[in-house]
Structure 1
C-alpha cells in the first residue's frame, strides 16, 4: 500500500488537482463562516426578542422559542433536503451552494441563538434591573450593559460551533455541493488511492479548523475575567 501511495503522489499533487482541492476548501470555509456569521446575526436578534418582557411582543417571543427548539433538534441532513425541495418550488434555478448556505444559516441561527441567550443570562440580573430603574431602553441595556459582559461567555462556544460545522458541511455533498468530501470522492473515482485522497482531505479539514480553534482560544483568554 505504501508503495502505491508513493507512486501516486506525483500524479495526485498536480496543479489542477491542487486548484480543485483549494476551490473545494474555499466552498467549505465559505459555507461554515458565512452561514454562521449570518446565523449569529439572526440568532442575536432572536435572543434579544426572547429577553423582552413587553406583552405586545409575546407572539414574537413564542415564535423565537419555537424556532430555536425545533431546529436544534432536526438533523442537518434532513434540513438540507427540506430546503432543497422547498427552494426548488420557489427558485428552481438556485445553486446547490446557495441551498446549502441557507441550510447552514437555518441551523446556525437556532444554535447560536441559544448560545447568545446563555451569554445574556450570565449577566447578573441586578444590573439589568438597575438599568431599568434608570429608564434605560431595552437596546441601551443590551448594548451598554449585557453584551459587553456576555461576550466572554458567547464567543468560545460560538467558535466551537463554527469549527464543528466545518466538519458537518461534509453532509452538503449529499445534495451535490462540491466541497471537500465530495472532492475526495471525485478524486478517488479517478483511480487514486482512497488512503491518499481522504488523508489529504483530512489534512485540509485540519488546516481550515485549527486557526479558528486558536482564534477562539485567544479571544477566550482575552475576555476572561482576571483572577485577581
Structure 2
C-alpha cells in the first residue's frame, strides 16, 4: 500500500493532464451531440415523410457503425475529401456524430410521449408548429428524457476513452503511455479507473438531483 501511495503521488500529475482533456472532449462532444440530436428528433417527428425517412436511415446507419470506425473514417479518410481535422477535432466530431443519433432517438421518444390531446389543444387555439413545439411539447419532452439523457452523458464520458486510438492524449492515452514507460500497470490503471469514477459518480449524482428537481425521478 505504501508503494502504491508513493507511486500515485508521482503518476497523478501526469494523469490529471489527461483528465482535463477528457473533460474537454466530453463537454464539447455532448454539446454538439445534443444540438444535432434535437435536430434529428425534430426531423423524425416533422410529419414530412421524406425528411423523416432520410433521417431514420442516417441515424440507423451511424448507430450500426462502431465508434472506432467512425473515428478512423473522420481522421484518416475525410482528409482525402478536403476535410483535414486535428486528432482532437476528429475525436469530438466522431463522438458527437455517434452520440447525436442515440440522443436524437431519446428526444424523439420524449416528443412522441407527450399527450396528443395537448398537441391538439395547442393547434385548436391557433398555435403554429414552432410555437407549439417550443411552449408545449419540448418542455414536457425534456422532463421525460432526463433519465435516459443522463445515461447517455455518462456513456459518452466513458466512451471519450475511444479517442485515444487516434492519438488524443486524454486520460486513457496518458495511462497507456505512463504504463508503457514505467511497466507499473497495476498502479497506473488502478489510478485511471479511480479517476474515471471520480468523474462519473459526481455526474450521476448531479443528474439525479436534476431528475428530482424536474420531476423525472421515480
Q: TM-score normalised to the size of structure 1?
A: 0.87
Question: Which residue of 54, 63, 68 corresponds with 2:54?
Answer: 63
Once residues 28 and 202 of structure 1 are traced to their aligned partners in structure 2, the CA distance between those partners, rounded to angstroms, is 13
Deviations 1:94-139 (A, max 9, x none): 3211111010111111011000011111111111112122221111
Question: Which residue of 12, 16, 21 corresponds with 1:27?
Answer: 21
Residue 3 of structure 2: aligned partner: 7
Residue 217 of structure 1: aligned partner: 208
Deviations 1:37-78 (A, max 9, x none): 21111111121122222xxx4432222212222112211111
Residue 148 of structure 1: aligned partner: 139
Contact 2:147 2:217 in 1 (8 A): no
RMSD (CA atoms):
2.0
Once residues 181 and 197 of structure 2 are traced to their aligned partners in structure 1, the CA distance between those partners, rounded to angstroms, is 24
Once residues 217 and 168 of structure 1 are traced to their aligned partners in structure 2, the CA distance between those partners, rounded to angstroms, is 21
Q: CA deviation at 1:225?
A: 6.4
Once residues 23 and 202 of structure 1 are traced to their aligned partners in structure 2, the CA distance between those partners, rounded to angstroms, is 15
> Structure 1 pair 225/26, CA: closer, same or farther in 2 (3 Å)?
closer
Once residues 60 and 86 of structure 1 are traced to their aligned partners in structure 2, the CA distance between those partners, rounded to angstroms, is 27
Q: TM-score normalised to the size of structure 2?
A: 0.91
Contact 1:12 1:192 in 2 (8 A): no
Once residues 10 and 50 of structure 1 are traced to their aligned partners in structure 2, the CA distance between those partners, rounded to angstroms, is 55
Once residues 39 and 187 of structure 2 are traced to their aligned partners in structure 1, the CA distance between those partners, rounded to angstroms, is 44
Contact 1:163 1:209 in 2 (8 A): yes
Residue 168 of structure 1: aligned partner: 159
Contact 1:52 1:138 in 2 (8 A): no
Once residues 86 and 130 of structure 1 are traced to their aligned partners in structure 2, the CA distance between those partners, rounded to angstroms, is 50
Contact 1:33 1:162 in 2 (8 A): no
1:83 aligns with 2:77: no
Residue 195 of structure 1: aligned partner: 186
Contact 2:75 2:86 in 1 (8 A): no
Contact 1:156 1:219 in 2 (8 A): no
Once residues 10 and 19 of structure 1 are traced to their aligned partners in structure 2, the CA distance between those partners, rounded to angstroms, is 13
Query: Structure 2: any 5+ residue segments left out of the alignment?
Result: none
